[in-house]
Amino acid sequence: MPTNTFEHIGTTVVSGSSTTSIVFSGLSSWTNVIFVGRIQPNATTTQMNVNLGGTQIFQQMYSTGTSGTALPVTSRYTGAGSCDLTVNGCTSAGGGGVSFKAHLIKNGGSQGFFLCEAGFEFNAGRMEYTVSNCFSPTNVTSITLGFFGQVIKAGSTISAYGVMI
Amino acid sequence: MATSFKAIATATLTSTATSITFSSIPQTYTHLWIMGQAGTTATDAPAIYARPNNITSSSYDYANIYVDSGGITQRNALNTDRSLGLLDMTDSTANSSNTGFEIVYPLYKGGLGNNTYLFNANSQRTATSVSNQASWGVSNVNDTNAITSIVFSLQGSGTRSFAAGTKITLYGLD
């Protein structure tokens, strides 16, 4: 078992046009896991999500203000079988997909906190930045990332790095 | 520590400079991550720019969550030359570290549309805590090319300088 390390677990690069999700499994060996990536839906506008397993809840704050204005930061909260990581959809026509980084904090294997920052261009140059915490009350041994009901575009890439302390 | 988070280059200023450049960035990693601390000799709160491939036109869009003594707000700008949203700094005493920041460039070699990247920053603009500010956000640049260079500068077209002691490190992630 690795100790005192920041180790590349793996990188998934989507190829073809039929991938609907990206799964990282075998996460039991790590104290915490860091994810970095950029993914884009293949065709239609949709939200990015993560599934940690178990009944999950999430909280978010996000910026999707109109250009040139300063607006109150908005938040939302819900419980679900998976967690939204973005509020709006990511159109495949513009922008460069959803860029994100996330930390999976495993709390000794008893719970999972998936702290995620995600940002992207979603509508004719309009940007969104979202900070989320997805919580699972069970041990997280694998996660599934993707878009609700949509195929992931080829070239989309996610890397996972394990931290063992 | 294992070697999946590798320092590519560090720029440490021993005297003032109007810009800091990371050039010939290796195309052998999957993602880039920058951590830095910066000061300035300017006193008028110039914003920091971090321009991939030194694109200086109004090709940037950003959204951020921004907090200072006035509260918390969200901002969104299109077609601006501000490459990092609001990330202002000022220091009349030429402090070398009044702004700390990180920037993450996922998939910096391109292949998935425009380059889109995340940034976090905290700036102590004066010696009083009420002037602290923090910003978290995303920038997009209308450029699909691989990022081979990143140029840091300050708002004001080269008329303002980073202070000596400013230190920025570029990391590559496998």
Cβ pair B4, A162 in contact under 8 A: no
pLDDT of residue B1: 47
Of A6, A100, A119, the CB nearest to B63: A119
How does the average pLDDT of chain B come out, rounded?
Answer: 87
Residues of B in contact with A67 (CB under 8 A): 76-78
Nearest to B153 by CA among B59, B58, B22, B29: B22
pLDDT of residue A151: 92
Nearest to A109 by CA among A161, A22, A33, A37: A33
Binary contact (A161, B173; C-beta < 8 A): yes
pLDDT of residue A154: 93
Query: Which range, A18-27, A71-80, A118-127, B129-138, has the best average confidence (pLDDT)?
Result: A18-27
**Residue B77 touches partner A, C-beta closer than 8 Å:** yes
- Strands B60-68 and B71-80, by their bridges, are antiparallel
Please state the domain extents for chain B: 5-173
Q: Could you please report the per-residue DSSP string of A120-136?
A: EEEETTEEEEEEEEEEE
pLDDT of residue B91: 64
Residue with tokens 């509020």: A87
* More confidently predicted of B2 and A109: A109
CATH T-level assignment (fold) for domain A5-164: Jelly Rolls (2.60.120)
**Over 80: is that where the pLDDT of B96 sits?**
no
Nearest to A134 by CA among A98, A88, A80, A87: A80
- Which tokens go with A110? 């008893």
Binary contact (B117, A6; C-beta < 8 A): no
Cβ pair A14, A39 in contact under 8 A: yes
**Over 60: is that where the pLDDT of B130 sits?**
no
**Over 80: is that where the pLDDT of A18 sits?**
yes
Please state the domain extents for chain A: 5-164
